Chain A
Amino acid sequence: MPARNHHSIEELNDLANQIREDIIKMLLKAKSGHAAGALGMADVFTALYFAILKHNPKNPSWPERDRLVLSNGHICPVLYATLAHAGYFDIQELLTLRESGSKLQGHPSSLDLPGIEASSGPLGQGLSQAIGMALALKMDKLKSEVYCLMSDGELNEGQSWEAFMFAGKHKLHNLTAIIDRNNIQIDGYTEDVMPLEPLADKLKSFNWHVIQVDGHNIEEIIDACHKSKAIFEKPVVIIAHTIPGKGVEFMEDNPEWHGKAPDQDQARQALKDIRTLKGQINYD
């Protein structure tokens, strides 16, 4: 059985920033893709794959693994970069993002890339699939956990709420949803496009246990996931408050960067910002 890696918080923070660098390099090479959400979720992905999930990169279909379903598939550069760092495939392959014949499709494809639990792209479809997995695990008496990563914008989709209702009904304790609360979507700020607040109250009223965390504080994210495992009477949703574009100043909190890739100069600046975060000023 594969062991969970034991990394210090400092090491995890460094890893998250390496993943951010890879995201910038991938998007620069691909000349398209979604920058803001991917950068914003680097800390959550790092925490999950390097401190929480029971998984085996050498045997991605290990039946007893924990499952991670990415519902808002457009932020897949962060998933790909994390999987590569975790050992699912060669880091060099990251630069094939969105190329023809690549396993790294523009949106995640489970049949193309081992380690992808569910294909996604059209928003609102991930949580239902995660619930289906959680039900099957319960039927098969397997102790694995299911994590579903969702965006705040995708909560506009009615299917998300159908799924919240169903999981509440079934008190699925082996299910944890993590919402990337970054407040942006394609057309602007979420509260202008379609207000979600009071989001925590809505979720509570759907019979979920709600935990709110700073989505850039890896220690808090890990604590919340541990707490989630200990809560048995309800499914748990972690609202992770994040800054879209985190680590790259000109992208941060700017809806324009939801679905854009940086050009050469922007990528250079972005890498400089990220490496400054790491305390390294040299970027060449």
Chain B
Amino acid sequence: MTKLKSTRDGFGEGLLESARDNESIVVLSADLTESTRCLSFKQAFPERFFEVGVAEQNMIGLAAGLALSGKTPVVSSYAVFSPGLSWSQIRTSICYQNLNVKIIGHHSGVSIGPDGATHQGLEDIALTRCIPNLVVLAPSDESEAKKATIKALNHKGPVYIRLTKLVTEIISPNDSQFKIGKAQVLRVGEDLTLVGCGSVLSEAFKAANKLAKEKINIEVINCHTIKPIDQKTILKSLKKTKCLVTLEDHQIMGGLGSAVLESIAKDFPVPTYQMGIKDKFGQSGKPEELWDHYQLTAPHIVKTVKKALGV
């Protein structure tokens, strides 16, 4: 059996693959080279790698200057630091100028575990998706993260990629194409639509299987692109199921669920249960323990789906 990997691993692989073909790619790291999976790039292309030290604001500015000069910079740090500390630089230096910079936010979600609240990025989707020009991606497993990274590097313009540390099962189909802005129906169902993103989607999959045994068939949509959101795929599903649950390892306020609701409010509003972090900080613990504590695991999803369906 192959060893399980995380979305950050997939990013590192995609980066290396793209960098071989695209000489304009440069990488900037804020003293987190190994942990943000940029080490292989650094070893392969030392002259295209810049260590900026613990200085995320400068890192974003450097990337802007490099992009203004034709480079394709990838800036890599933890989500709590970038966009956490570098939001104004991302807004003005990168997005206002619509620059071709890829911003990588690692260690998102409570699922990073023992490091605790200070290092668990739970607000990054909210922070990024409100900035014009910025594409926001949250791949769900290693394989998808690799594809997302390659696509992001081919996309001209600023992209934010939200990554996680926890190793999880591959849930995206092996042969699936990753298309920015095109959500993926992972599982077809008629009773309820579950829209989620990131590695916590692995729990949605488990929940769907359990529910199926009780003759409840939910449709699971992997909304890996939070912006631009795939309104069409979501609406199509909702017109069939008329009931929605959203799932994310992120604050409920301003996250994926909010983005989904904004996209359907006018055309087809339906009763919705939003699963995510309920206006709380995270804490130390084992990843699975924390997902359970914050009610993001399969049993909690099963319960929520049944509540939504009134069964």
Interface residues of A (CB under 8 A from B): 69, 109-111, 117-122, 124-137, 139-140, 158-159, 162-163, 165-166
Contact = CB atoms under 8 A, between A and B. Distances in A.
B297 interface: no
30 contacts: A69-B65, A109-B96, A111-B96, A111-B97, A117-B68, A118-B65, A119-B97, A122-B92, A124-B57, A125-B88, A128-B61, A128-B62, A129-B93, A130-B65, A131-B65, A132-B69, A132-B73, A133-B65, A133-B66, A135-B50, A135-B66, A136-B65, A136-B66, A136-B70, A137-B69, A139-B71, A159-B55, A159-B89, A162-B53, A163-B58
B64 A118 contact: yes
A163 B61 contact: yes
A132 B65 contact: yes
A134 B97 CA distance: 18
Given A110-B97, A122-B88, A128-B62, A166 B68 contact: no
B24 to A, nearest CB: 10
A118 B88 CA distance: 15
Contacts of B92: 119-122, 125
B52 interface: yes
Contacts of A120: 92
A118 to B, nearest CB: 6
Contact of A128 (B47, B64, B71, B97): B64
Nearest to A157: B57
Contacts of B50: 135
Contacts of A133: 65-66, 68-69
B62 A135 contact: yes
B63 interface: yes
Interface of B: 26, 47-48, 50, 52-53, 55, 57-71, 73, 88-89, 92-93, 96-98
- A-B pairs, top 6 by smallest CB distance, nearest first, are A132-B65, A128-B61, A136-B69, A162-B58, A162-B55, A129-B65
Contact of A119 (B26, B47, B59, B96): B96
A140 B69 contact: yes
A139 B47 contact: yes
Contacts of A136: 65-66, 68-71
Contacts of B57: 124-125, 128, 158-159, 162
A117 B67 CA distance: 12
B119 to A, nearest CB: 21
A130 B88 CA distance: 17
Contacts, number: 104
B64 to A, nearest CB: 5
A69 B52 CA distance: 21
Nearest to A126: B61
Nearest to B55: A162
A162 B60 CA distance: 11
A158 B92 CA distance: 17
B97 A132 contact: no
A165 B55 contact: yes
Nearest to A137: B69
Nearest to B48: A139
A128 B73 CA distance: 14
A125 B62 contact: no
A111 B67 CA distance: 14
B69 A128 contact: no
A118 B52 CA distance: 21
A107 B73 CA distance: 25
A110 B92 CA distance: 11
Given A128-B62, A166-B52, A166-B55, 16 more contacts: A110-B68, A111-B97, A111-B98, A118-B64, A122-B92, A124-B57, A125-B61, A128-B60, A131-B65, A132-B69, A133-B68, A135-B50, A136-B68, A139-B26, A140-B70, A163-B61
Nearest to B86: A159
B96 A129 contact: no
B96 A132 contact: no
A134 B68 CA distance: 11
B65 A159 contact: no
Contacts of B55: 159, 162, 165-166
B93 to A, nearest CB: 5
A166 B29 CA distance: 13
A172 to B, nearest CB: 11
B268 to A, nearest CB: 36
Contact of B61 (A109, A111, A129, A140): A129
Contacts of B93: 118-119, 125, 128-129
A119 B53 CA distance: 25
B127 to A, nearest CB: 16
B98 to A, nearest CB: 7
Contacts of A121: 92
A162 B97 CA distance: 22
Contacts of A111: 96-98
Nearest to B93: A125
A128 B53 CA distance: 13
Given A111-B98, A119-B92, A135-B50, A128 B58 contact: yes
A128 B96 contact: no
A248 B240 CA distance: 71
A165 B48 CA distance: 19
A75 B55 CA distance: 27
B58 A135 contact: no
A110 B58 CA distance: 19
A136 B73 CA distance: 11
B64 A165 contact: no
